[in-house]
Amino acid sequence: MSDKDSLDNMPVNEVASDSLVARFDGEVRSDTREGYEGYIVDANMLPEVASVLRDDLGYDYLSSVTGVDYIDDNHIEVVYHADQTTGGKGINLKVQLDRENPIVPTLVPIYPGADFQEREVFDMYGVKFDGHPNLRRILMWDGFHGYPLRKDWKEAYYEEDIKPFDSRWPGGGVKRSEADNPYGKNVNYPPGFDINNWTPETDDSLYESLEKTNSNGKSLHTDSIVVNIGPQHPSTHGVFRMVVALDGETITDLQPVMGYLHRNHEKIGERNTFLQNMPYTDRLDYLCSMSNNLGYALAVEQLMGADVPERAQYIRVLMAELTRISNHMWAIGFLLNDLGAFQTPALYAIRARELILDVFEATAGSRMMCNYMRFGGLARDFPDTLRGEDTVKFITDLVDNTLPKAIDELDHFLTANEIVRSRCIGVGVLPPDKAIAYSTGGPLLRASGVSYDLRTADPYSIYDRFDFNICTRSNGDVYDRYLVRVDEMRESTRICQQVMRDIPAEGEIFSGKPQYSVKVPAGESYGRVENPKGELGYYVVSTGKANPYRYHVRAPSFVNLTVLGELCKGHKVADAVVILGSIDIVLGEVDR
Amino acid sequence: MYGTGILKGMGVTIRHLVDSFVDDMRFLGQRYYSDSSMNIRQGTEGRGVFTVQYPDEKLPVPEQFRFIPFLLYENNEDGSTTDRCTSCGICAKVCPPQCIWIERSSDPDTGRPIPEPTNFYIDIDICMNCGYCAEYCPFDAIKMDHDYELASYDRTEAHIFDKARLDKPVEYYASIRPNDYLAEETARAEELAKKAAKKEAAAARKAAAAAKKAAAEDN
Ligand code: SF4
Ligand code: SF4
């Protein structure tokens, strides 16, 4: 057997571990804490280790960067999750930093996709990423005091560290939190702060960071101007702002500004019990609550080692794929809105989506805030009837007839449409190497020709039982992203048809006895699913209690925005709107 | 040819328009303004447009639909009522945004807790309609309502529902969630039957033991 063969036969992680630990003796250690895996790397060695990881070991895709505040050990940990776009399990690296002065070298030169995520860790934990090209707050505003995800930071309406709060029962004592004066005891000011003499920070630093050109040498002299699109703007799909530097009409640089919908989702998640987080995940990407539920359930089930009964597995896949179809319908409809075809295509697109929402509503109880998955199964089974028909018949008809027809109709009147083609082809081109480097995911990545989809790259639930293709296209422009979405909807209906064919007619949908408070063994887990918009990951740390110690959401919409500026350079403002539409973001997930 | 895309698009629109009229004829008089009309419009048979003329028409909600919770009480034969809630506090503990406040009753003399609530508040502005309270209440005392038209002119005190506002009779619950109600009643009846059987068995055992003992003494 050659060396290569023996390498091939070894589990991926072991190859990495052997060479990483051997190569960086003493500087890289295996993480031996109970329930943890991965490697602890010395901060100053991080760039070197990351280069080896990327170039020699093939971990070319940095999926997630986040922090954890271990306040009792007095360190902050930065956690990196990397993957191979050829598939397989991921690997994680951790760097432990001093809480008082956390500094770590940036990974942006090696993985440009770390850009926004490092800024988020800086924003939330105060970790300084040495050498980062634009280390400013990203979700909070410039001038905000404190680091919201540190364990000793308290929110304005702080009551107790963890739920349930004691005051709710048996005492009662109802009050509205708003009745507490927000400028009273609930607000912390930095020492020496005088509100009467305070001037808010301006956006000067932001505007200065933009790349501007003055058209030297051209016949007509044009000044560079800065234009703000949003935060209140119909094209931004929510409260989202694009700061654009223009040379004439051409974009020379674009910086997304976000956080207007920031609610410290992760802090709320750490106050909540494990179960209480489930309905909050609905509100991340509120168009895809079913698959948000699934990702979180997987993360916690990994820690608990819970089994999921067969029937529940099938229903989970069905719901996740219906979600994908409804999301892509929405994305395509609103891409047409961004192109100026107001509402008519969008309404045709969401007509079929309406029926999917009917299934959700009848089963889970809500059209969008489904809160349907539980650790170890589902909340409930299908109802007997839906719109006066047998539910199974309704769903079967939906996935066999209605949805394929609706997809064909979209395809029929959009794909060959001249305006769609001339506005989309060749716009916002993302080459495959850049798509990987910028950690993009979902249709954005696959339209660039990278066949990376977690359903086959690192299969979860029961996706290994179904026959479906990973859809890719090769040009990486707006048009290809649209086509990938159409193809994916077709594949999803195929999966749904197989589910309806194979699903056991009877059976449990929950293993064990439903409990309102679950104990979760100590350790970390990274549960992830291929959401319609890309990889949705949940990094959960448990200390064995009823509340997660750390709860992080690797949101695909947020990470996909890292590349937006790159895509828009050289295009016109109207194209920026379309490019943003083709990335398909939901602000509930971007801002968290 | 330039313009075919636009023609195709218009073709689709015309088809949708025609479909609606065809459906109107096909289901003459059944497509609008009746409770089952949505079954046709949004069922597997419907082809045409399915816009709902709210508030003249309302989309009927499925049984599992959940909005703000309410509390159940039983109507007794003598005209009095009994709360199902025992003030156990589980719903207040499981509630994710912590919008349930329960005052447990206690005996005025001994100060010992009594299993019923003095008052029960839900801040409906904070309630995220998750349904956990109904799902985990061991006494089927709190359930999710179907009434979603809760707008009011005062968003402060008027949105903190107290017990009087939350209380609804069991019959109402049975009317909006007939299947759930039936399943629970069956389960409860089975439970009772099991308990009764156990009791009987225990009594029979006791009797047998007593008989044996008596027999032994006789000897
Ligand atoms: S409603 Fe149910 S869970 Fe809540 S206190 Fe009453 S009995 Fe307990
Ligand atoms: S539905 Fe959810 S949020 Fe509302 S009161 Fe019940 S547990 Fe609380």
Q: Tell me, letter by letter, the H, E, C secondary structure of chain B.
A: CCCHHHHHHHHHHHHHHHHHHHHHHHCCCCCCCCCCHHHHHCCCCCCCCCCCCCCCCCCCCCCCCCCCEEEEEEECCCCCEEECCCCCCHHHHHCCCCCEEEEEEECCCCCCEEEEEEEEEEECCCCCCCCHHHHHCCCCCEEECCCCCCCCCCCCHHHEECHHHHEEEHHHHHHHCHHHHHHHHHHHHHHHHHHHHHHHHHHHHHHHHHHHHHHHHHC
The distance of B15 to chain A (nearest Cα, Å) reads 11
d(CA B146, CA B67): 6
For A250-273, write each residue's pLDDT tens digit.
888 888 998 888 999 999 999 999
For the cut 70, the answer to whether the pLDDT of residue A190 exceeds it is yes
B102 vs A1: which has the higher pLDDT: B102
B117 and B195 belong to one structural domain = no
Asked if A91 and A164 sit in the same domain, the reply is: no
| Residues B186, B128 within the same domain | no
The pLDDT value recorded for residue A553 is: 93
**What range does the domain containing A186 cover?**
157-191
Q: Is the CB of B113 under 6 A from ligand 2?
A: no
Which among B60, B80, B103 is the end of a domain? Answer: B60
Do A162 and A299 lie in one domain? The reply is no
Per-residue pLDDT reduced to its tens digit, A273-309: 999 999 999 999 899 999 999 999 999 998 988 889 9
What string of H, E and C letters represents the secondary structure of A567-590? HHCCCEHHHHHHHHHHHCCCHHHH
Give the mean pLDDT of chain B. Answer: 86
ipTM: 0.86
Q: In the prediction, which pLDDT does A5 show?
A: 43
**In this structure, which residue's CA is closest to atom 6 in ligand 2?**
B133
CA–centroid distance, B130 to ligand 2, in Å, is 5
Residues A357 and A285 in one domain: yes
Residue B102 Cβ inside 6 Å of ligand 1? The answer reads: yes
- Same domain as B131, residue B120: yes
pLDDT recorded at residue A278: 92
- Domain boundary residue among B60, B77, B96? B60
Same domain, B76 and B163: yes
Question: By CB neighbour count within 10 A (0-12 exposed, 13-18 middle, 19+ buried), where does B119 fall?
Answer: middle
CB A326 within 8 A of CB A504: no
Residues A398-430 have pLDDT tens digits of 999 889 988 998 888 888 888 888 888 888 899
Do A273 and A412 lie in a common domain?
Answer: yes
Least CB–CB distance from A383: residue in B4, B64, B123: B64
Residues B35, B105: one domain? no
Same domain, A570 and A425: yes
A94 and A180 inside one domain? no
Beta carbons of A247 and A222 less than 8 angstroms apart: yes
Nearest residue (CA) to ligand 1, atom 6: B85
Q: In 3D, which of A350, A137, A172 has the Cα closest to residue A259? A: A137
Residue A181 has what pLDDT? 54
| Residue A239: inside a domain | no
Domain containing residue B81: CATH number? 3.30.70.3270
Q: Does residue A234 form part of some domain?
A: no
pLDDT value of residue A1: 38
Same domain, B147 and B187: no
pLDDT of A16 higher than 60: no
Contact (CB<8Å) A418/B98 = no
> Total structural domains in chain B?
3
pLDDT (0 to 100) of residue A6: 43
Mean per-residue pLDDT for A300-319? 91
B71 with B167, same domain? Answer: yes
- The answer, yes or no, to whether residue A172 has pLDDT greater than 70, is yes
Residue A256 within a domain: no
Q: Is the CB of B86 under 6 A from ligand 2?
A: no
Domain co-membership, B153 together with B164: yes
Evaluate: CB of B93 within 6 angstroms of ligand 2: no
Minimal Cα distance from A394: which residue of B?
B44
Mean predicted confidence (pLDDT) in A57-75: 90
CA angle B76, B78, B82 (to 5 degrees): 35
Residues A32 and A78 grouped into a single domain: yes
pLDDT of B105 strictly over 90: no
Distance B115 CA to ligand 1 centre (A): 10
pLDDT confidence tier of residue A549, bands split at 50, 70 and 90: very high
Q: What is the pTM of this model?
A: 0.88
Is B96 within 8 Å of chain A by CB?
A: yes
B5, closest residue in chain A (CA to CA): A417
* Same domain as A301, residue A385: yes
> What pLDDT does residue A3 have?
43
Which B positions 170-189 lie with beta carbon below 8 A of chain A?
A: 179
At residue A22, does pLDDT exceed 60?
A: yes
- Inter-chain CB proximity B92 and A164 less than 8 Å: yes
User: Do residue B161 and residue B140 come from a single domain?
Assistant: yes
Assess if residue A61 is contained within a domain: yes
pLDDT of residue A8: 45
Is it the case that residue B200 has pLDDT exceeding 80? yes
| Minimum CA distance residue for ligand 2 atom 5 | B127
Q: Which residues of B touch A170 (CB under 8 A)?
A: 87, 89, 102-104, 113
- The CATH number assigned to the domain holding A24 equals 3.30.460.80
Q: Does B138 touch chain A (CB under 8 A)?
A: no
Say yes or no: B15 and B26 in one domain. yes
Closest residue of B to A268, CA-based?
B97
Taking residues B53-75, what's their average pLDDT? 88
Provide the domain count of chain A.
3
Give the closest-approach CA distance of B55 to chain A in angstroms.
Answer: 19
Say yes or no to pLDDT of B214 above 80: no
Shared-domain flag, residues A95 and A11: yes
Per-residue pLDDT of A474-530, as tens digits, reads 898 999 999 999 999 999 999 999 999 999 888 888 888 888 888 888 999 999 999
Q: Whose CA is closest to A287, among A227, A374, A214, A350? A: A350
Size of interface A-B (CB pairs under 8 A): 162
pLDDT at A480: 92
Query: Among A115, A130, A145, which residue terminates a domain?
Result: A130
Q: Is the CB of B135 under 6 A from ligand 2?
A: no
Residue A294 and residue A385 share a domain: yes
Indicate whether A250 belongs to any domain.
no
Whether residue B104 is found in the same domain as residue B157: yes
| B43 close to A (CB below 8 A) | yes
Q: Does the residue A226 lie in any domain? A: no
Residue A47 lies in a domain: yes
Residue A21 has pLDDT above 60, yes or no: yes
Q: Is residue A236 part of a domain?
A: no
Task: Check whether residue A87 and residue A186 sit in a common domain.
Answer: no
The CATH number assigned to the domain holding A276 equals 1.10.645.10
Residue A324: pLDDT above 90? yes
Instruction: Show the domain range for B95.
Output: 67-176
**Does the structure show a pLDDT above 70 at B182?**
yes
Q: Ligand 2 centre from B64 Cα, in Å?
A: 15
More confident residue, A26 or A560: A560
Do both A56 and A176 map to the same domain?
no
Looking at the partner chain, which of B36, B63, B103 has a beta carbon nearest the beta carbon of A171?
B103
Mean pLDDT over the full length of chain A: 86
**Residues from chain B contacting residue A351 (CB–CB below 8 Å):** 50
Specify whether B27 is located in the same domain as B88: no
pLDDT at A183: 52
Q: Whose CA is nearest to atom 7 of ligand 1?
A: B85
